Every structure is written in structure tokens, then in C-alpha cells.
Structure 1
Amino acid sequence: MYIYNVTININETVHEEWLTWMETHILDVLNTGKFISAKLTEVLVDEEMGGKTYSVQYAANTREDLNDYYEKDADRLRIKSLKKFGDQILAFRTELKLVKEFYPTNVSN
């Protein structure tokens, strides 16, 4: 599994509007058919530059799905975001490859 992570810092003046808009945007990304799920999380740090910071993690089954998203959908969806919020948001993207998941085991005391 591959995780496409987008970390975004949002100016306080558009924070609530952005948060509402993101629900639609995340569904637009998922509806490309390249990802199987998404998680929206708030980053719990105080930013020197101010604002609020969030991370969106999109899960893709294969590297090919992720590459296909970049080739066919990413630019179009990024432009929508820039047109709406411009310099009120700052985003950076990272890719992660899931190596292994671990879960707690039930151990009797």
C-alpha cells in the first residue's frame, strides 16, 4: 500500500471555510478511483507562522495507481484549491510505502 500525504497550513481567516471545502475535495480525490481511503487529521503543533495545520493521507493499493493519479488528476484538483484559497494555504506532499502493520495482541496479565 502507498500513502499520498498532503500536509497543509491554513490561514486562520479561511480555516473554517477550508475545512468545509476539504470534505468535498477529499471526495473528489477519492472519486478518481485511484485511492481506497483517506484520513483527514489535524497536526497538533503550534506553527511559528501561525494558522492551523492538517494532514490528509490518501491510501492507494499500488504505485501504478498513485502514478496514474499524478498523470491524470493531480494538476486539475490542485488548481481548484489554488483558485479558491490562493496564498492562504501552504501545502507540501510526501509519499510513503507501507512496509508492515502491527496490531496489539491480547495478553493475559
Structure 2
Amino acid sequence: MIIYNVTVKVATDTHLEWLSWMREEHIPAILRTGLFHDFRICRLLEQDDQEGPTYAIQYFTDSLENYNTYQEEYAQGLRQRGYDLFGDRFIAFNTVMQVV
């Protein structure tokens, strides 16, 4: 199994709206691609939350091919929507992991 992990630090004044958008729009759009079969949202603990909370969103897929297809065909457009809505109120980085 492959886990596509997106770690996001969101500004305090924006994080509730951002979290709602993730749950109601962004994650469902990613799942509609058919390339991921499940997800998990986690809030990181023991982090400096003065500038806002940090979340890890994990998307689960069966193959690197599915992940690569997502990156090539969907990622940029779906990511852009977040920048359009929240601008510089968040910062994100991605990692890809394999369950061993």
C-alpha cells in the first residue's frame, strides 16, 4: 500500500474554514479521481501552534502508478483551488510512503 501524505500548517484565523473545505470539497474531489480508496486527517500534537495548527492528511492507494497518475493529471488543479481560497494562510509539503 502507498500513502500520499500532505502535511499542512494553517494560520489560526483560517484553520476551521480550511478544515471544513478539506472535509467537504477537497478530499471528496481527490477520492472522486478513483485513484485513492481511503483517507485520514490527523492533527499533529506536540507542535508549536502559535501560528496555527498542523495537520497531516493521508490518502491511501494500492500502487505507485495510481499516485503518479494523480500527480500528472489532477494534483495541480486540485491544489490550485486551495491557493485560490486561502492564499498564503497555509504552507504544505508532501511525502509518499510505502507500508512495509
Name the TM-score, length of structure 1 as normaliser.
Answer: 0.87
CA offset at residue 47 of structure 1?
2.0
Considering only CA atoms, is the larger Rg found in Structure 1 or Structure 2? 1
Aligned equivalent of 2:90: 89
Aligned to 1:8: 8
Query: What is the root-mean-square deviation of aligned Cα atoms in Å?
Result: 1.1
User: What secondary structure sits across from 1:5 in the alignment?
Assistant: strand
User: Using CA pairs below 8 Å that are at least 6 residues apart, which structure has the higher relative contact order?
Assistant: 2
**DSSP 3-state at the match of 1:26:** helix
With normalisation by structure 2, the TM-score equals: 0.94
CA deviations over 1:37-83 (Å, ceiling 9, x no partner) = 00011111232762111000000101100000001000000000111
> Please, which runs of 5 or more residues in structure 1 have no aligned partner?
100-109
Name the CA distance, whole Å, in 2 between partners of 1:37 and 1:7: 17
**Using the alignment, how far apart are the partners of 1:48 and 1:15 within structure 2?**
11
C-alpha distance 18-48 of structure 1, shift in aligned 2 (>3 A): closer
What SS is found at the alignment partner of 2:60? strand
1:53 and 2:54 aligned: yes
Residue identity matched to 1:93: N
Percent identity between matched residues is: 38
